[in-house]
Amino acid sequence: MATRTARKGGEPAARPSDRLTREQKLELYYWMRLTRTLEERLVALYRQTKVVGGLFRSLGQEADAVGSCFALERRDVMSPLIRNLGAMLVKGATPVEVLKQYMAKGDSPTRGRELNIHFGDVGAAGATRGFLGQISPLGDMVPVMTGVTLSFRMRGEDRVGLVYVGDGATSTGAFHEGINFAAVQRCPLVVVVENNGYAYSTPTHKQTLAKQFVDKAVGYGIPGYQADGNDVLAVYDVTRTAVDAARAGGGTQLVELMTYRRKGHAEHDNQSYVPDGEIERWAAENDPIDRYVARLTGELGFAAAELAAVDERVRREVDAATDEAEASGFPEPLDALLGVYADPPAERPLWFREGTGGAVAASERAADGWGVYRADPKAGGDA
Ligand SMILES: Cc1ncc(C[n+]2csc(CCOP(=O)(O)OP(=O)(O)O)c2C)c(N)n1
Ligand SMILES: [Mg+2]
């Protein structure tokens, strides 16, 4: 299948962003500003040693995270990475949850057990916000999301999954196995490759000879799209096109977003490996928020005062969330035991075999759980 690249400009009325309302266009600005202000607050707290672990920034990548997640519905499921705070906020994570999580507070989503934003809220369509707690091994969320979206397809649910991977993560076996299996199974999965130029200290050209990641779609036989990841409307357009295609039965889609990581891997990284002037050039010429502000106040006709009101709202919300997070206590030692052991499974065991009546089903006792084998089905006793 041919790789398709989003064409630039000159296509009036064909872009999904043309259908966004004025309020939605302002909302995109709100989410990007909230992401940046919240991260700036986290940096201040980190320097006061109130953030107890690492701190990962998405400075310069806010349009990529916000514009792509804005293409999803509430019932859809999204799997974020460390640089997708914006996507988590769009999907319903709150600043106070994020602050408490980073500060390891006792009433944070993981009760102080995780330093980062490794928490999720996922379940039945509509009942939860639909974001998965990320796991750290690079690329591994691709096969996980392949499984999630395979269940959507098998159950006939009108839901799409979106998984973010970095340029570095595409060089793992998990990425390859996951996207290949999703493609073959025609899973409604959108794989977003965030090409931000670096994987820790390794520049992209030192970990792949591929000229661009969108080319990899050809090898998996799936549609591929590419967009300027620092143009929030272009990001929305390309992701919305991929999400719509996946929802309509078009199977797995790959989206490459071109962006740049302006901070180090985490706050402790001094970026000594970055060529002189590179960061400054991206900051001066290609900041996603500056670019969107220029567009909003230019061709889209927003008044500067409307944007200032959003900035003020964000400042108030981040201040209130900080006060609340600072006031809450640390976990008690015994809290470490809570939630460690799984609750009884929410699904009936072997739900996918119900009604099939196969020989295997007859040999397993669905009520007892996975892999319980009954040697003689007629005897009815234990194996
Ligand atoms: C399998 C694996 N190898 C190494 C690491 C350590 N590690 C964590 S993030 C990272 C770099 C990730 O780069 P990229 O995928 O480009 O994402 P970015 O940080 O640029 O968003 C590395 C090497 C890991 N978590 N998992
Ligand atoms: Mg990267």
List beta partners, residue 121. 131
What pLDDT digit, counting tens, does each position of 284-318 carry? Answer: 999 999 999 999 999 999 999 999 999 999 999 99
Task: Identify the nearest ligand to the CA of 265 by its number.
Answer: 1
In the chain, where are the structural domains located? Answer: 16-337, 344-383
57-77: b (≥16 Cβ within 10 Å) or e: bbbbbbbbbbbbbbbbeebbb
> Which protein residue has the closest C-alpha to ligand 1 atom 13?
199
Q: With beta carbons less than 8 A apart as the criterion, state whether 53 and 115 touch.
A: yes
- Is the pLDDT at 174 greater than 80? The verdict is yes
* Cα distances (angstroms) measured from residue 154 to each of 148, 185, 325, 363: 10, 10, 41, 23
The alpha carbon of 167 and the centre of ligand 1 are apart by a number of angstroms equal to 9
What pLDDT digit, counting tens, does each position of 110-151 carry? Answer: 888 876 668 899 988 888 999 998 888 999 999 999 999 999
The alpha carbon of 169 and the centre of ligand 1 are apart by a number of angstroms equal to 6
Nearest ligand 1 atom to alpha carbon 56: 19
Comparing CA positions, the residue from 249, 254, 223 lying closest to residue 153 is 249
What pLDDT digit, counting tens, does each position of 1-11 carry? Answer: 334 444 444 44
Any atom of ligand 1 within 6 Å of the Cβ of 28: no
Pick the CATH number of 16-337 from 3.40.50.970, 3.20.20.220, 3.40.630.10, 3.50.50.60: 3.40.50.970
- Average pLDDT rounded to a whole number, residues 357-370: 53
Any atom of ligand 1 within 6 Å of the Cβ of 85: no
Mutation test residue for ligand 1: of 200, 204, 262, 268, the one with most atoms within 8 Å of CB: 200
The alpha carbon of 170 and the centre of ligand 2 are apart by a number of angstroms equal to 10
DSSP code of 215? Answer: G
Nearest ligand 1 atom to alpha carbon 261: 20
